[in-house]
Amino acid sequence: MFRRRRRFPVFKLLLAAAGLLMAWMLVRGISVLAEGNGSGDAREVVESFYTMEREGNFGGSWELFHSQMKEHFTKDSYIQKRAHVFMQDFGVDTFSFKLGSGKTVSGWRMSKDSPALPEVYAVPVTMLYESSFGAFDLEQTVYAAKEGDEWKILWSYQGNSLKESS
């Protein structure tokens, strides 16, 4: 006679979809936690900074500086010095760069006279140049610190401060 077709109940379909959604949220949550308190955003500002620098947008990169850095360089002075060193002295129009593995640093200071910053992320950056002096790499540890709700760029003015603060 008539054979009854088995239908996949809508309830089971919804239950399966909810399970997949929960699994995705769990995996996504773990990956966000693994980045370490917003360090992904800190790396993004470092990457944005060097992308602007590579394009010669020194005014835009200056805007990503922490207020302590802006006290160290006026915008006009920074643009002039940065363009002079890279474009004129090195004889290059652009460069490439690589970001290394970063780490959180506590109690970091830009200089011995600067106040300690509570949340700082250190990222090693290697800039690769093909200049009139040959190909060379320039390495610098770059720091990102929260200022308000945004990560901002800092450089160290006290030797190898990553080793001193660790």
Q: Supply the pLDDT for residue 11.
A: 58
Residue 62 CB neighbour total at 10 angstroms: 22
Contact 96, 54 (CB under 8 A): yes
Tally of CB atoms within 10 A around 69:
19
- Tell me what the mean pLDDT of segment 14-25 comes to: 58
Q: Are 43 and 123 in contact (CB under 8 A)?
A: yes
Q: Rounded distance, CA 77 to CA 74, Å? A: 5
Domains observed in the chain? 11-158 (3.10.450.100)
CA atoms within 13 A on the CB side of 94: 7
Q: What is the pTM of this model?
A: 0.70
Who has greater pLDDT, 20 or 64? 64
| More confident call, 54 vs 151 | 151
Contact yes or no for 123/15 (Cβ under 8 A): no
pLDDT at 21: 61
Question: φ, ψ for residue 40 (rounded to 5)?
Answer: -60, -40
More confident residue, 4 or 163: 4
Q: What is the pLDDT of residue 16?
A: 59
Burial 126-135 (b: 16+ CB within 10 A, else e): ebebeeeeee
* Mean pLDDT score of the chain: 80
* pLDDT tens by residue, 24-61: 455 444 333 334 445 579 999 999 999 999 898 999 99
**95-119 pLDDT per residue, tens:** 889 999 999 999 999 999 999 999 8
